[in-house]
Structure 1
């Protein structure tokens, strides 16, 4: 049995009957819903034409440019096509309003975000006073299970204030970004389809290379960072041949790496169908009497198209082009480009994804484990024992935490550290500021990285930890090393030392975080001979 098949089995937890719509109770409220000042900045010349942004009222030294098109609107005949260059314009274009977010089911902020298929826009916060400053660039990729979310951060100031140019993007999601079908594949020379959302990210990175100097940014010092599905995107982009030269460092926060986020395009993975097979079923739901060309599907109203996709999981596809292989294979073989990398997870990643699993009986729990883990169920049950119903919630939370997040994250750190000594692992342990009952839940670190908590709720302890994390993140973007003389030393990660930094009110260094659990998972993987996700 291939290990990727086992990973498929392992990750398809018996609590995943309900589809995962990842990230974030933390991200559900906008980073800051207040509007920026209408005071305009100076005019800049980019590839498409002249633009003018606004000064932020939170910090008059930060200029923000909202809603810059980095590619042509992917509508009409461009639906399910690789992103095309954005058209130019005459005169000065005012960049004072965010672009639309991608059409999606149940957006987190229904009041402030306008949804559209025309969503390929980015935003830039810059402290630069002129284009010659060569500031480090941080490129944010939002999470949301590749089905929801937005890059429209109302407050990018906290990072920009530390001397970096911050770029955030919107990209195609759900059926607009990851739908694959044989008829779509026939339209391309490479006979592949899907991954349009990933191609959008690559297109935005190419735009940055061409234009970021105008904002005082350094195209030779770009750090990509993302959380959850955004962290998985960081993993994918680090393993892709298409990204050579487009970025130079990477930060993956709680990367969500399962068969539900990455699967083969045309081959089934254990008991999961291929991405293309899922696409065929989705197309049949949309047009029950069959289709002879994509024109029929391209004519469907985008809102209806997205609503009909509910219940279908369309992962990023291992297509031989964007992803030549599973990223874990590529990392293990050392085929990824050497880049400084900073990765980590939170203590209680699993609390957000229970979906009522704690209401099962012990017998139901054990039966579910047997169904999902099959020949390895006994090993898993020894690792996460359940003797009474009261044990179920903790066991399921820890299983999700370890299998979906901690184990693949340690894998990333382990194999990048063999190529680049500037590899760093963290464990975020502070309870969620917005959902304390969830513990240090999935996405709990976001309000600290962006300092986006309501100012009225910002305690001194919160400010101290947020300042530390922003310093670590931006210092890493500047130098490839997160350390600063004013903060506890963050040791480099190596497989032998297995050290990480623990981020909480008190910042400390840990050794062998979750080692017993993760080593046990590794030993199970060794039984089938491959380390493949």
Structure 2
């Protein structure tokens, strides 16, 4: 079959998967699971069950407590509508990511299941949404699992507590805990959802012994938290991390790496809220707490508590203590084009750019300037910020799992189309999502519109196949597309451009530079490694043992 015919066939396939269900009535599917019976909705060959509670509502006096299993219900529960999104800040700014999430609630710990009608021991993909641990929801149209389900996977998308309601640590909350810890409630929610999947997914045709956790951005960060957490061990068997970032994270009780302890940050926020006790905090309006926390600069992250998160992610992965599972990881070439707030502003001239880089990077400056030259400062600033966060993390994950004897698959999404490229957003952050979900026509209102062409559909069809086959077997494969070679000494990776292409040696020198910079910061103990790269970097220490 010629490439054009292949593309046309893929377009027909994707179009069929995306077409609305026929108007004729279908029998509403009912599944009886250990949690209870649910009635969903059939859409062609796929059934969807929405808004299923996986944990009791952590509201009022239960706020900032570990999730408890949802009580079993009687009769058949209606599962035709999504549950509410978790409480999150109300933003007056509209971006390409903005969509109408409808009402929010603290009673938000629900999940959704898409299952093919031929399911039986089907691979399970548990999707964790992004949004900086502050925003987002499993109900976003871009996360609809119907196309992946039509390709043979059972897809689960989950809500988890966000912002201050999901990630607040505080000395009094730690004192309440039998384990002496606080924070990480959103991570606890994710683990509870995986327990629900373990106990119930077989009733939906899924294989509880073949579960892949997957997420993008903060969802990718969550995937790494779950890989690092002993409490999630055995609940999943593969991992997909898209645009993840292995940054330093607060310690629960100690100020380290340029950040206050998580408990101190929480106590400071409580003073801002004029809340002298956790009783007062729990009595406050959830939306008021959330908005005030966001405006005061409270940043939700997992806290190293010695229990759920035993250490910094880089240390856990360096020691080989993370989950020994195959991984598919990657990032987008234009990550920062839609996240300009993460990049420092270029200086007035090339001489100043080079002066600052030499001041900050010292003996690493020549390597930095070779990768990110002053001849095009704006592009260099964007690329340096991208690589320090996303590129370095993706390759680090591939290296780490390969070292653990697990198959690892690395990708670069470098695909643009007329609307994105004309807006200066070539392969922007999250641009791969419509393709790997097979939802080219379900993007948010301000998203650059994807043309409905055979070529775009062919790329999407390949990515859907790669993702679902990885979940099925641990080896990504796609019809009429290159075999995806595991990451190895050659640095094998796949680039998604106009189509998928196997290549080797991703951005030579990129990983080594940012690994050395991170290692020196960690050895120093007073510096974070996150968005403070390039022009925003602190002055790096001289070479440290084990770092060069």
TM range, normalised to the smaller chain?
Answer: 0.7 to 0.9
- Aligned equivalent of 2:508: 515
How many Å separate the matches in 2 of 1:268 and 1:239?
21
Deviation of the 1:351 alpha carbon = 1.6
TM-score normalised to the size of structure 1? 0.85
Q: Does 1:466 align with 2:460?
A: yes
- Aligned equivalent of 1:96: 80
- Aligned equivalent of 1:412: 397
- Aligned equivalent of 1:499: 492
How many Å separate the matches in 2 of 1:381 and 1:480?
36
- Aligned equivalent of 1:489: 483
- Aligned equivalent of 1:382: 369
The answer to whether the Cα contact below 8 Å between 1:421 and 1:492 also exists between their aligned partners in 2 is no
- Aligned equivalent of 1:228: 217
The answer to whether the Cα contact below 8 Å between 2:169 and 2:182 also exists between their aligned partners in 1 is yes
Q: Counterparts of 1:316-465 in structure 2 under 5 Å? A: 316-355=302-341, 357-358=344-345, 360-362=347-349, 373=360, 378=365, 382-383=369-370, 387=374, 391-431=376-416, 435-436=420-421, 437-454=424-441, 457-465=451-459
In structure 2, which of residues 235, 238, 256 is the aligned counterpart of residue 269 of structure 1?
256
Encode CA deviations 1:43-67: one digit per residue, 9 max, x unaligned. Answer: 22223322111112xxx11100000
In structure 2, which of residues 90, 94, 108 is the aligned counterpart of residue 119 of structure 1?
108
Q: Does 1:146 align with 2:162?
A: no
Change (3 A) 1:522 1:88: closer
How many Å separate the matches in 1 of 2:457 and 2:397?
30
TM-score normalised to the size of structure 2? 0.83
In structure 1, which of residues 85, 92, 117 is the aligned counterpart of residue 69 of structure 2?
85
Encode CA deviations 1:201-240: one digit per residue, 9 max, x unaligned. Answer: 0000000000001101100000111001101111111121
Deviation of the 1:353 alpha carbon = 2.6
The answer to whether the Cα contact below 8 Å between 1:328 and 1:412 also exists between their aligned partners in 2 is no
Deviation of the 1:528 alpha carbon = 2.3
How many Å separate the matches in 2 of 1:432 and 1:233?
30
Change (3 A) 1:381 1:150: same
Change (3 A) 1:510 1:263: farther
Encode CA deviations 1:87-134: one digit per residue, 9 max, x unaligned. Answer: 12222111011001111113665644221111100000001357xx11
- Aligned equivalent of 1:476: 470
Change (3 A) 1:347 1:282: same
How many Å separate the matches in 1 of 2:433 and 2:401?
24
Change (3 A) 1:452 1:36: farther
Deviation of the 1:314 alpha carbon = 2.3
Aligned residue for 1:309, secondary structure, equals helix
How many Å separate the matches in 1 of 2:284 and 2:355?
42
The answer to whether the Cα contact below 8 Å between 1:433 and 1:444 also exists between their aligned partners in 2 is no
Encode CA deviations 1:441-489: one digit per residue, 9 max, x unaligned. Answer: 1111001011222288321111000000000000000000002463201
- Aligned equivalent of 2:204: 215
Deviation of the 1:523 alpha carbon = 4.0
Q: Which runs of 5+ in 2 are unaligned?
A: 1-17, 92-96, 443-449, 521-542
Q: Which runs of 5+ in 1 are unaligned?
A: 1-31
How many Å separate the matches in 2 of 1:128 and 1:415?
37
How many Å separate the matches in 2 of 1:35 and 1:486?
28
How many Å separate the matches in 2 of 1:463 and 1:381?
38
Deviation of the 1:280 alpha carbon = 1.5
Change (3 A) 1:92 1:364: farther
Change (3 A) 1:34 1:281: farther
In the alignment of these two chains, the number of paired residues is 487
Change (3 A) 1:424 1:126: same
Aligned residue for 2:250, secondary structure, equals strand
- Aligned equivalent of 2:272: 285
How many Å separate the matches in 2 of 1:379 and 1:480?
40
- Aligned equivalent of 1:294: 278
Deviation of the 1:358 alpha carbon = 3.9
Deviation of the 1:271 alpha carbon = 2.5
- Aligned equivalent of 1:19: none
The answer to whether the Cα contact below 8 Å between 2:371 and 2:509 also exists between their aligned partners in 1 is no
Change (3 A) 1:337 1:386: closer
- Aligned equivalent of 1:246: 235
